[in-house]
Amino acid sequence: MATGDVKQFNVYLPVELIKQVKFRAVESGMSLSALVAEALHAYLDDDRNRGQDPAGEPGEEG
């Protein structure tokens, strides 16, 4: 996981999704926090690359 300030962030997810994420974290040798952070970074980077901000609003093109 990236260095720097961290804070606990609770979310509610479907039980099956939680099982899959935990399994993937163990399988990849990552902590659950690191895996989720990496997934969120990838999601947000993908949105930016498609011209949208994280809230789903179209980005400014220029």
Beta-carbon contacts of 10 under 8 Å, excluding residues fewer than 6 positions away, are none
State yes or no: pLDDT of 61 exceeds 50: no
Spatial contact of 47 and 14, defined as CB atoms under 8 Å apart: no
Residue 62 clears pLDDT 50, i.e. is over it: no
pLDDT of residue 4: 83
User: What percentage of the chain has pLDDT greater than the value 90?
Assistant: 66
Instruction: State residue 22's pLDDT score.
Output: 97
What is the pLDDT at residue 58?
54
Q: What are the pLDDT digits (tens) for 20-45?
A: 999 999 999 999 999 999 999 999 99
